[in-house]
């Protein structure tokens, strides 16, 4: 699976780009620095090779470090996200 999170650091809106290698359920979650799940950003089934660009507003989040977890049948990938206001 291919994944990118940009811009990083972010102040208002982040774009998460994902392209899974197999037909799979795609779930994107955001966690705080303590590992607490803050929310589900995306939760749908996608086709193999389908590029998904998901925008997520970070304006309600305080400045700090967060983790974006992308889950598919291929496995999980985590990316660090820094929010600055």
Lowest-confidence pick of 24-28, 37-41, 47-51, 75-79 = 47-51
Report which of 82, 84, 79, 74 is spatially closest to residue 16, judged by C-alpha positions.
79
Q: Is the predicted pLDDT of residue 22 greater than 90, yes or no? A: no
Instruction: State the architecture of 2-83 in CATH terms.
Output: Sandwich (2.60)
The reply to whether the predicted model has a pTM over 0.75 is: yes
Q: Is the predicted pLDDT of residue 30 greater than 90, yes or no? A: yes
Q: Is the predicted pLDDT of residue 14 greater than 90, yes or no? A: yes
- The domain ranges of the chain are 2-83
CA distance 65 to 75: 23
| Per-residue pLDDT at 55 | 97
- Span 45-64, average pLDDT: 93
């Amino acid at each position: 699976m291919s994944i990118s999170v940009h811009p990083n650091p972010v102040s208002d809106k982040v774009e998460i780009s994902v392209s899974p290698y197999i037909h799979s359920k795609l779930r994107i979650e955001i966690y705080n620095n303590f590992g607490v799940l803050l929310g589900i950003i995306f939760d749908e089934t996608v086709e193999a090779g389908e590029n998904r660009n998901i925008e997520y507003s970070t304006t309600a989040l305080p400045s700090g470090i967060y983790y974006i977890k992308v889950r598919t049948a291929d496995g999980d990938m985590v990316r660090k996200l820094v929010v600055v206001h």
